Structure 1
Amino acid sequence: MSTITHKDSLLELLATRLELLEIKKEEVDTTKSLFEQGILDSLSFLEFAVEIEAKFDMELDFSELDPTEFNSIEKLSKIIENGN
């Protein structure tokens, strides 16, 4: 029985974008910035944030966070685990 983690769920939310960019989920470095990896830009990040809020039934308060705190799968996963 496999356990789906927040990281897996976040990668699933990015699946369509990754497919368009011809990037496999396994190729995404979850510790590096999604922006630096060319996966997200500012507009696509906003769309991604809306999907995160809907999927995890939470509101992301970016005014309380430093931008480097939410730029990777790893960091976003921790925000979700801590309930923002």
Structure 2
Amino acid sequence: MRWRWAIPAALTALAVLLPAEIWAQGIPMVNVSSSGKDMQYSLSLQLLALMTTLSLLPSLLLMMTSFVRIIIVMSILRQALG
């Protein structure tokens, strides 16, 4: 029972000794220049564009092949025969 104050005292000491304000790191900007115009894109926008491209690319590739046509024809044929 004598050491009951030890945990609250340690938590209070940690709260006092830790910095009051923690600053986040700034967003890095990427410069893209084309035809004299200087555009800046942040890393988060680049990641968003990359993830969008990576998620849509397989479906676009699949739609450009004849696989989709074959599947559609087979499903229509199955419905007609069934």
TM-score between both structures, scaled by the size of structure 1? 0.22
More strand by share: 2
Q: Which has the higher contact order (CA 8 A, sep 6+)?
A: 1
More helix by share: 2
The structure that has the greater radius of gyration is: 2
